[in-house]
Amino acid sequence: MQWRALVLGLVLLRLGLHAVLWLFFGLGPSMGFYQRFPLPFGFQRLRDPDGSEPVGPPEGPAWLHRPKRGPEGRLETPREPGPGMCGQAHWGYALGGRGCGPDEYERRYSSAFPPQLRAQMRDLARGMFVFGYDNYMAHAFPQDELNPIYCRGRGPDRGDPSNLNINDVLGNYSLTLVDALDTLAIMGNSSEFQKAVKLVINTVSFDKDSTVQVFEATIRVLGSLLSAHRIITDSRQPFGDMKIEDYDNELLYMAHDLAVRLLPAFENTKTGIPYPRVNLKTGVPPDSNNETCTAGAGSLLVEFGILSRLLGDSTFEWVARRAVKALWNLRSNNTGLLGNVVNIQTGHWVGKQSGLGAGLDSFYEYLLKSYILFGEKEDLEMFNAAYQSIQSHLRRGREACNEGEGDPPLYVNVNMFNGQLMNTWIDSLQAFFPGLQVLIGDVEDAICLHAFYYAIWKRYGALPERYNWQLQAPDVLFYPLRPELVESTYLLYQATKNPFYLHVGMDILQSLEKYTKAKCGYATLHHVIDKSKEDRMESFFLSETCKYLYLLFDEENPVHKSGTRYMFTTEGHIISVDKHLRELPWKDFFEDGERDQEEKFVHRPKSQEFRIINSSSNCNRVPDERRYSLPLKSIYMRQIDQMVGLI
């Protein structure tokens, strides 16, 4: 027994020594996912809660601190790198020190992307969609989602109403089929599109005892119904013959039915900010939560606004716009930032974190996209003010993206009231932001930020849900087939026409095919390091991820060649931008038609008679919005080889 005690003592002593070395010096053995990515010296710990300096070396990435500015207000440039080191202008410095030189980048990415390879990648993206879609129809329809490993369908979790990860999204309304409608059209599959639309009309009902999240039902279902309706009724039919025989606006009527069932969320709130969930049969549940996230409550205006303008009934746009304004009025007077969770009755910020990821992402996105669609100047003014606050308080790193020394720009999570750093992670949803920057013409900054997320993808073959940029390791390890990086890649290619982004898309395609393909579809990665899978294929994989990959490689797609200006919703549903959506068909029917100084109606309108306005005819250009059209005018890219550290 003594020798066993001695061995046990030695083992415990060794583990203790390793723990001390790992915690204080980064020298101990890996705890699993750190193994391949050693921590370099120099990363500084966060300040203690009392504001005192932390114990440890003083050096660290500039992202931990607010930018230092010189006498003229410009960012100070830090020291030059030593011999043989990656400069701080390089993502290789920030993400582990590998891939510093331009030679490998030049060898792999500077050449043109051959047309044959492009066609091959386009067909691979289409095949990826078809494999997932066909298996959903064979094994899961009419349920909401496909379990791709065991080839079964998935619906709401009736046994556990608290399982919000499932029940917020799945409403027992054939979600994956509905969400994929416009992807079928964009890929030119008219026969399957027509078949799918008829299936939706004949089999999908919203008269269900399902409690769903208002946000998810709006962007996935309402948005898809409106997109498919406009594709069917477009007189020009750019995607081929997508008309439905004897179509009588059924999808629009279904969208109206769903929206009416969501309206109770906007009632009985003291702020006008909606409840997060409704039961499609009975309205707001009696035990409903009074807390909601900013993105969930403030990202309804695009879909609700389109519906209102197609129907001539302002009710839906009015409640969505009221929620946006209510949130906007709660922003910090000091920083102009918003938090991520708010109490809908008191207006008190429960979550004070301000960032670009979960809880806030699509709020900013829809301020801009609402303006693009509807032309309301107030939406643009709110977006511009929000963007300025983001640049002032969230953006860390050097001032210029493609020149100078210092850490590359990164957007961090801060306290909404004082702009102080709250944590050292970013989440994968933030990868949408470069695409949004493309839409406003801030392409150079988009190039730089996109490179950071792509560098993480290169390291893992996927984007972990959260990545800790201080520890250079994932905090949350799963990847549910999210589309945000693909979306930004697609938009950046449209803006620059640089073949680099075709190579990025090919990397993403090959990673998805290699690591996520299952027996009957594509599966969530449970762990981006060991590549273990979860048995779930979320609907956005078909509605967004496959769609953006396909469009990236399909240069001749009508989206790019038809002359129609298109915009994508936050769920990737395509909407043509035309003058009809900038008209207010209810303008003459307002009660107490008082206007404010900007000639906007400020009183709630009368509920109008249900009527159809076909706004899918010829799309006219709006000259003063030319800067937002895609593809944007090509720009040259400088020092892209400095951006991607892991190639």
So which residues are the catalytic ones?
216, 361, 465, 484
**Closest to 157 in 3D by CA, of 168, 146, 149:** 168
Angle between helices 500-515 and 102-109 (to 10 degrees): 80
* Widest Cα–Cα separation across the chain: 93
**Closest to 128 in 3D by CA, of 170, 174, 183:** 183
Q: Among the residues of 394-483, which ranges form H helices?
A: 433-439, 443-460
Contacts of 251 (CB under 8 A, 6+ apart): 197, 200, 201, 225, 226, 228, 229, 232
Is residue 518 within 8 A of residue 533, CB to CB? The reply is yes
Q: Where are any strands of DSSP class E within 485-597?
A: 517-518, 521-522, 524-525, 533-534, 566-568, 574-576
Secondary structure class of 105 (helix, strand, coil): helix
Tokens of 512: 């998805």
Query: CA geometry: angle at 165 spanning 163 and 169, to 5°?
Result: 110
Is residue 309 within 8 A of residue 587, CB to CB? The reply is no
- CA distance linking residue 201 with residue 84, whole number of Å: 64
b or e along 84-116 (b: 16 or more beta carbons within 10 Å of the residue's beta carbon)? eebbbbbbbbbbbbbbbeeeebeeebeeebeee
Query: CA–CA distance from 282 to each of 297, 392, 591 (Å)?
Result: 20, 45, 30
Query: What is the CB neighbour count within 10 angstroms for residue 14?
Result: 11
- CA distance linking residue 243 with residue 80, whole number of Å: 62
- CA distance linking residue 261 with residue 254, whole number of Å: 11
**Closest to 487 in 3D by CA, of 460, 532, 454, 448:** 454
Q: Among the residues of 114-217, which ranges form H helices?
A: 115-139, 164-167, 175-179, 181-186, 190-203, 214-216
- CA distance linking residue 112 with residue 503, whole number of Å: 10
**Where is 315: in which H helix or E strand?**
helix 315-329
Contacts of 506 (CB under 8 A, 6+ apart): 117, 121
- CA distance linking residue 297 with residue 170, whole number of Å: 19
- Residue at 388: amino acid letter: Q
- CA distance linking residue 551 with residue 188, whole number of Å: 12
Query: CA–CA distance from 171 to each of 78, 204, 523 (Å)?
Result: 53, 11, 21
- CA distance linking residue 125 with residue 128, whole number of Å: 5
Dihedral of the CA atoms 172, 175, 181, 187 (nearest 10)? -140
Contacts of 539 (CB under 8 A, 6+ apart): 144, 145, 169, 175, 176, 179, 180, 220
Secondary structure class of 421 (helix, strand, coil): strand
